[in-house]
Amino acid sequence: MRDPWGLNERLFAWYYPKLVALSENAGQREVRRELVSHASGRTLEVGAGSGLNVPHYPAAVTELVLSEPSSHMRKRLRAALADDPPPVTDWRVEPAGAEQLPFADQSFDTAVLTFVLCSVSDPARSIAELCRVLRPGGRLLFCEHVHAGEGTLLGRVQDLVELPHRYLAAGCHPNRRTERLLDASGLEVTELEHGRMPRSIPTVRPTIAGLARRAQEQAA
């Protein structure tokens, strides 16, 4: 949920890097490093934000495309990259969101999502787009905060505060059932770990991280 003047988006772009730094310094950075270390080949990161994943890409990445729909976040991302560019030879920033990716079918070996599906308007469509641009056998590396679980107290609180949370966090839903969406997609989840984001507000503390793979196409 974004207001007509974009004030909450500007506010979010200002405070999010400061807020997330608390979690990064308390251990979330290691989760990112481990996740992103599995990227290889032509790699797409959707919702690159202020660039927290960028330093962790390995030499196995031959090309890195950083997609970010928010002009306010892109400004911060470009400033960060000017001071500390990605450790890959070929990279660029694209102004695109997850729901409509301006890339050809089967054009990436790896896609990366970290704390993105919470804020897109249509997460199922976003996952379908990622499946479309991944090559057969290509991998999606993901880490997302999620609903705490049906019937749990925290889950009920997440559902209750969804509307004000979305406004204050520029569209972020604290209660997305992302694991369910991945299971229903055209991707096969091969690794999944439930965790907790350290030093974060309770509504975004439960997380899932892992790897999903696009199936190999059947031989004709």
pTM of the shown model? 0.90
Query: Does residue 176 belong to any structural domain of this protein?
Result: yes
**Domain residues for 93?**
7-214
Query: Does residue 140 belong to any structural domain of this protein?
Result: yes
Query: Does residue 161 belong to any structural domain of this protein?
Result: yes
Query: Does residue 219 belong to any structural domain of this protein?
Result: no
Number of domains in the chain: 1
Q: What is the DSSP string of the chain?
A: ---TT-HHHHHHHHHHHHHHHHHIIIIIHHHHHHHHTT--EEEEEES-TT-TTGGG--TTEEEEEEE---HHHHHHHHHHHHHS--SSSSEEEE---TTS--S-TT-EEEEEEES-TTTSS-HHHHHHHHHHHEEEEEEEEEEEE----TT-HHHHHHHHTHHHHHHHTTT--TT--HHHHHHTSSEEEEEEEEEE-TT--GGG-EEEEEEEEEPPPPP-
Each of the 220 residues of the chain gets a pLDDT tens digit; together they read 455 545 556 666 666 677 788 888 899 999 999 999 999 999 999 999 889 999 999 999 999 999 999 888 898 899 989 988 999 989 999 999 999 999 999 999 999 999 999 999 999 999 999 999 999 999 999 999 999 999 999 999 999 999 998 888 878 899 999 999 999 998 999 999 999 999 998 999 999 999 999 988 644 3
Query: Does residue 220 belong to any structural domain of this protein?
Result: no
Query: Does residue 162 belong to any structural domain of this protein?
Result: yes
Query: Does residue 1 belong to any structural domain of this protein?
Result: no
Query: Does residue 31 belong to any structural domain of this protein?
Result: yes
**What CATH number does the domain containing 85 carry?**
3.40.50.150
